[in-house]
Structure 1
């Protein structure tokens, strides 16, 4: 029995790697597809499907197909239309979509899946490259219960927690809400920590107090060591957070929810995206705040 996988990016590759290891141990296989064939080497045990029409048909024939794609446009191009994944999948197949995309695109996939007799599960992942490597991601899932039950043994190979949150696009709204919290936290932290530095507080003291204060959280705790080392290697980049904050603002507008804070945070990321910070971790918002305040690296 084969499982299909489409998309082997920063999160998709480690997720697929965990799944492939499990499937091979169970005597099954993972059929993987990516527009960059070189990425397939990062998933030992997976069978490369290639990039042609035959390969697309082979993946679509799998009983369960999991996608991990960068944005709405990529997902629509892969899954929708007369030549798309959903048009090729077999009736009663399961499509699990793990990307962070808009509720509108997800609803379009659900409609196409229903018309085809495919079970569609929106299952956006929450976590970083580090949690993906550790098989400790969190999944928010919405769709038919039967789809989740069939997919759960596969998803549990790379997810620490799987939350069933509804039957339609609830998972998409929840993922964007969580990312709003996370993205906004980084901008608030950048401004607050810069204020403390400008007031003469030593960097080590700032971080020590922050880690033991009421402002501490799992996110802050996770970022303390990189901040201490001034390491902004991207677990999730400024550019990626700009995309997600833009999705959150758009989702709020479509749902009739005022999002003034999200809009401000989005605009801050848009400003930073136009600089050399674009491909650094989203907590590099701190560097932007320090530059505005005329601060260099701490002593």
Structure 2
């Protein structure tokens, strides 16, 4: 397979073109790739990108297809059926699935691609919209060494680092691990902040102190700073964080591994999804603050 450079694969077709994909698309266009897309709404955040009416139409026209959809259901709707991307792809084509979906959906797409002679790489990304904009995403890829190397020019264009997680399916599994740590860390912060406030600590002092200690990751410090000011502008919406934790808890249960911490975190994130589905998932901190104020 020839490396997927702008010279060899000039046109990339996105299936799903939301907040993350539009930012990836900017980097790819700046590198010399052409970009087209399909979105269920028919709208694009980038007026320079042509939006086609179906996923199939994108796949028929593009040299490489990049899926970037929110969940298993959206992946199924856009990949299969008479207007799905797989129908439009030809043998020898390449499909890069950057979506965060279940291992089962990942395996099903791989099998469907193989049946058509299409190379499918599961390549979810670690990072939110600030990382996507700053070319700071980490791409977590499952697939053969050769296929991952051939796709490297695209991955290098949208991210700062590509991790080859192992054979097909490994990228999707690693993404669940990463997001599980992220979600559980945020819920631990939300609960301990709630305790600090309920016990009488000054709110500004508490948030400022937590911003200085080494035990909190830079990602979660960013969430704390947003929560301090009540700014829950979405970088990673609550509905998607809860979805990823739900997929992880389900996957762990299938392995019969006890994970009470993650199961508990899912409940807090479910509160966040219920109350603030489209706000950033750090809104869970505000929910727990209301408990501290006896205003839940």
Deviation at 1:278, TM superposition (A): 2.8
Q: Deviations over 1:241-269 (max 9, x none)?
A: 11111111111122332232222111222
Task: Say if 2:279 is the partner of 1:280.
Answer: yes
Give secondary structure in 1 for the equivalent of 2:26: helix
Match among 34, 41, 51 for residue 36 of structure 1 = 41
Task: Say if 2:93 is the partner of 1:84.
Answer: no
Partner of residue 123, structure 2 = 123
TM-score, normalised with respect to structure 2: 0.89
Pair 81,259 (structure 1): closer, same or farther in 2 beyond 3 Å: farther
Paired residues in the alignment total 286
Give secondary structure in 2 for the equivalent of 1:216: coil
Give secondary structure in 2 for the equivalent of 1:258: coil
Query: Structure 1 CA distance, aligned partners of 2:279 and 2:36?
Result: 32
TM-score, normalised with respect to structure 1: 0.88
Task: Say if 2:46 is the partner of 1:47.
Answer: no
Give secondary structure in 1 for the equivalent of 2:43: helix
Query: Structure 2 CA distance, aligned partners of 1:202 and 1:270?
Result: 28
Q: Check whether the contact 1:60–1:86 (CA below 8 A) recurs between aligned residues.
A: no
Partner of residue 21, structure 1 = 30
Pair 207,292 (structure 1): closer, same or farther in 2 beyond 3 Å: closer
Query: Structure 1 CA distance, aligned partners of 2:269 and 2:178?
Result: 17
RMSD of aligned alpha carbons: 2.0
Pair 72,265 (structure 1): closer, same or farther in 2 beyond 3 Å: same
Deviation at 1:45, TM superposition (A): 4.0
Query: Structure 1 CA distance, aligned partners of 2:21 and 2:58?
Result: 19
Give secondary structure in 1 for the equivalent of 2:31: helix
Unaligned runs of 5+ in 1: none
Query: Structure 2 CA distance, aligned partners of 1:30 and 1:278?
Result: 30
Query: Structure 2 CA distance, aligned partners of 1:170 and 1:181?
Result: 17
> Residues 1-299 of structure 1: matches in 2 within 5 Å?
1-23=10-32, 28-39=33-44, 42-48=45-51, 50-52=52-54, 56-81=56-81, 83-275=83-275, 277-294=276-293
Deviation at 1:58, TM superposition (A): 4.8
Give secondary structure in 2 for the equivalent of 1:209: helix
Deviation at 1:271, TM superposition (A): 2.7
